[in-house]
Copies of this chain bind each other. A is one copy, B any other.
Amino acid sequence: MKLAVDAVVFGYSKDLNILLVERKYEPFQGGVCLPGGFVLDNESLDDAVQRELREETGLKLNYLEQLYTFGSPERDSRERIVSVAYYGLVDRTKVKPMGGTDAEVAYWKTIEEVKSLNLLFDHQDILNKALERLRAKLTYAPIGFDLLPKEFLFSELEHLYVSILGRPIDRRNFRKKIMSFDLLEETGKKVSEGKGRPAMTYTFNKKRYKELERNGFVLQIF
């Protein structure tokens, strides 16, 4: 029995994207899958997933959260390989993935694009589980801000929710609710969106959120 780690890294720019790699070597050379690989003997699981991500895509994430462990005896045709899956979020505009050891190339794909790629092993199941977790967490934790640039338009935040949840939201209530938390700060800078009037950009006050959270505050967006 062997132990592996795999990473679902979500990036966002207009749409939700997932970081994928193409395998450099046999078996499954050229196949597309999530970045990941075997855990070394003296390495923690958290260290292993960071190392694999770095080696295969050049990315370093501040935070990867353990998602679920996939251990069906049939998940890999080679031998019994159990995989501890992690997920993480990045501002896509900040990072440029590249191939490395074991991976020929690394790139971002939208959820729609992934569907036609036939990911290797049970990686589509892993991705689906991560998506489920992301959607659930988006409604009670401020993780959407990790996907946006530091300064963003309110319309960008709204679009992120619509895009990730995959359903329309009540725009007026959404704005009212988000603003009621008093967690967004105006930057004083306005930006033009398309043909519209310049709109205010915001930053998320993480420090204030952490304080509120310590006092039992729960973000309930819907």
Assuming the contacts A1-B39, A220-B220, asked whether A72 and B84 have C-beta atoms less than 8 A apart, the reply is: no
Q: Chain A interface mostly helix, strand, loop or mixed?
A: loop
Please tell me if the beta carbons of A41 and B80 are within 8 angstroms of each other in the complex.
yes
Chain B nearest CB from A161 CB (Å) reads: 15
Please tell me if the beta carbons of B66 and A68 are within 8 angstroms of each other in the complex.
yes
Chain B nearest CB from A123 CB (Å) reads: 18
Assuming the contacts A3-B82, A80-B41, asked whether A69 and B69 have C-beta atoms less than 8 A apart, the reply is: yes
Q: Which of B39, B69, B82 contacts A66 (CB 8 A)?
A: B69
Please tell me if the beta carbons of B41 and A1 are within 8 angstroms of each other in the complex.
yes
- Residues of chain B within 8 A (CB-CB) of A180 are none
Please tell me if the beta carbons of B42 and A71 are within 8 angstroms of each other in the complex.
no
- Residues of chain B within 8 A (CB-CB) of A2 are 1
